Structure 1
Amino acid sequence: MRSPVTGKVVLVTGASRGLGRATALEFAAAGAHVIVTARSTRGRSTQAALPQTSVEDTLEALRAGGGQGEAHACDHTDAAQVERLMLDLRARHGRLDVLINNAWGGHDPVNEAARGREVWEEPPEQLRNMLLGGAYSDALTTLLALRHFGGAVGQVLCTTWHTEEPPGWLPYEVSKAAKNRFVYVLGHQLSGHGIPVIGVAPGWMRTELMETHHTPQELDGQTETPHYAARGLVALAADPDSLRHSGQVLDVGELADLYGITDLDGSQPQWWRAHRSGRS
């Protein structure tokens, strides 16, 4: 049976590892032509402490599974690099059906020795990194895509996170709130053009970063793989009526309810929903 995303041109940013890599693989498996971007290339990783995966590795993996795609090195906080990317994609494909803003540089190293226990002792560059690598990256990539494709991008999906109550780490909370507001505002502004702008918030994913900072015991039984959210993104891209969700941030558990998606083991984790109810 032909998938609704077969033949679609899909751009996945930040695809060298984690959710971006899983998303690229899931879209490729569904028949899309997947363009993957990342700052981490072979021999030049942005996270030395993590497994040395690269954008080229993601491309090889999706092709090994029978998928089609291409890889580009790109820092999505750099306007010149994003401009070159969009010019190349327009020349090669003439259209962009799905843009997935997943790039995230917020956990780039900061001076840990400068961090204190009080909020005013937080290194200010941490918030800068998270705003640049989050909302700014999403906005820059989306607006340049719309400009170069004449406002005809099919769908804009942004990976994000629900802000917590009570709030958590200040730089992270502020950066995610900015991403979520970007989804809301741009969704409103593009409603007349029929372009859905939707945020997708995973639960606690077993990414390389999480596995580095948490023990197996901490992660056991309350986490999900990145493929769970990735399958939710594919389901949204396949939904002809996804405009009804525009401007919203949807939990992956909500997407599981809507579309029947499951994680790799067949489960439907509802970690964030349980987390929210436990704090209410």
Structure 2
Amino acid sequence: MPALTGKVALVTGASRGLGRAAALELAAAGAFVIGTARSTRAQPSRPDRPDLTVDTTLDAIHAAGGMGEAVRCDHTDPAQVEALMTGIRARHGRLDILVNNAWGGHDDPGVPGGGAEVWDEPLAQLRSMLLAGAYSDYVTGLLALRHLMGPAGQGVILTTTYHTDEPPGWLPYEVSKAAKNRLTYVLGEKLRGAGIACVAVSPGWMRTELMLEHHTPEELAGQTETPHYAARALVALAADPDVARHTGRVLDVGDVARLYGVTDVDGSQPQWHAEHRGGPQDA
């Protein structure tokens, strides 16, 4: 029997990249997966990429024999998230796994590109990243706890993030990811007595759909990984009855893979060390 049979999972930002892979891998492990995103078949965020919607993710789940549903939700809007949680409670009565994966701001069309010097950075850039990152996680996590997980004293909150670089990289990106990481730590500490673990995972350079659009095969050669590698790490953590031992921590995907015997789709176990980190990821 698959490890997560009978579990209900929510994956935010499930239209592409790691969110899509996480939804597919959780469903393959037996969970009923609720995937959310702003991009739907009726309202695609990228009309030129109709394959990148939460509906096409659900299609892939069903095609593989899994179970789930797709819900349009902007996780920066508390009202939409409140409605999402109320709906999950009405339809399923529980939530066992929350994957806070929704993130954006690096490709916001309303924010111009980064400056040549740090003082030239657009002032709106950090705000955009924080809203779509740590604030989105904050809103979704607290409302999930309020409506579903906290009162039941059950479940695990998993967050996709990135270990900040040394020396530091792009200023707004580094600050936004640091906020996500600190949120994981604080929630983990606050929930230690509630039976709810909070763990973040940091992937390496993933060959997501958008990375494949913007980089040549030569640039992506070497120590890169598919989004399914990190997604399988998330499944392993969600299935671990002793996941609380990791609470409040940010774990590299390679370390999780070694601990649980997880591999990428080609059977490899990429190890993404600090000296290989090349910059912002689609995660």
- TM-score tier by shorter-chain length is over 0.9
| Alignment correspondent of 1:141 | 140
Maintained 8 Å contact 2:95/2:149: no
Tell me how far apart the structure 1 counterparts of residues 111 and 128 of structure 2 sit (CA, whole Å). 14
| Alignment correspondent of 1:200 | 201
What secondary structure, in the 3-state scheme, does the structure 2 residue paired with 1:149 have? helix
| Alignment correspondent of 1:90 | 89
| Alignment correspondent of 2:130 | 131
Displacement after TM superposition at 1:51 (Å): 6.2
Gaps of 5+ in 2: 278-283
User: What is the TM-score when the length of structure 2 is the normalising length?
Assistant: 0.93
What secondary structure, in the 3-state scheme, does the structure 1 residue paired with 2:69 have? strand
Correspondence list, 1:207-218, <5 A = 207-218=208-219
Tell me how far apart the structure 1 counterparts of residues 52 and 158 of structure 2 sit (CA, whole Å). 24
Give the count of matched residue pairs.
275
Maintained 8 Å contact 1:204/1:272: no
| Alignment correspondent of 1:244 | 245
Displacement after TM superposition at 1:63 (Å): 0.4
| Alignment correspondent of 1:14 | 13
Correspondence list, 1:1-280, <5 A = 2-47=1-46, 52-110=51-109, 115-149=114-148, 151=150, 152=152, 153-272=154-273, 275=276
Displacement after TM superposition at 1:272 (Å): 3.0
User: What is the TM-score when the length of structure 1 is the normalising length?
Assistant: 0.94
Structure 2 CA distance for partners of 1:123 and 1:41, relative to 1, 3 Å:
same
Tell me how far apart the structure 2 counterparts of residues 109 and 257 of structure 1 sit (CA, whole Å). 36
Tell me how far apart the structure 1 counterparts of residues 110 and 99 of structure 2 sit (CA, whole Å). 31
Displacement after TM superposition at 1:208 (Å): 1.5
What secondary structure, in the 3-state scheme, does the structure 2 residue paired with 1:250 have? strand
One-letter code aligned to 2:35: V
Tell me how far apart the structure 1 counterparts of residues 56 and 222 of structure 2 sit (CA, whole Å). 29
Maintained 8 Å contact 2:97/2:158: yes
Structure 2 CA distance for partners of 1:115 and 1:105, relative to 1, 3 Å:
closer
Displacement after TM superposition at 1:262 (Å): 0.2
Maintained 8 Å contact 2:102/2:132: yes
Between 1:258-267 and 1:110-119, the stretch displaced more is: 110-119
Displacement after TM superposition at 1:75 (Å): 0.3
Maintained 8 Å contact 1:135/1:179: yes
CA RMSD of superposed structures (Å): 1.6
Structure 2 CA distance for partners of 1:150 and 1:35, relative to 1, 3 Å:
closer
Maintained 8 Å contact 1:46/1:108: no
Q: What do the CA deviations read for 1:38-85 (whole angstroms, capped 9, x no partner)?
A: 001115333467564110000010000000000100000000100000
Displacement after TM superposition at 1:99 (Å): 0.3
Tell me how far apart the structure 2 counterparts of residues 150 and 26 of structure 1 sit (CA, whole Å). 22
Maintained 8 Å contact 2:112/2:122: no
What secondary structure, in the 3-state scheme, does the structure 2 residue paired with 1:271 have? coil
Structure 2 CA distance for partners of 1:6 and 1:230, relative to 1, 3 Å:
same
Displacement after TM superposition at 1:213 (Å): 2.1
Runs of 4+ in structure 1 displaced over 6 angstroms?
none
Structure 2 CA distance for partners of 1:127 and 1:189, relative to 1, 3 Å:
same
One-letter code aligned to 2:233: G
Q: What do the CA deviations read for 1:211-265 (whole angstroms, capped 9, x no partner)?
A: 2222110101221000000000000011000000000000000111110000000
What secondary structure, in the 3-state scheme, does the structure 2 residue paired with 1:199 have? strand
The alignment-based identity, stated in percent, is: 68
Tell me how far apart the structure 2 counterparts of residues 225 and 262 of structure 1 sit (CA, whole Å). 10
Maintained 8 Å contact 1:198/1:245: yes
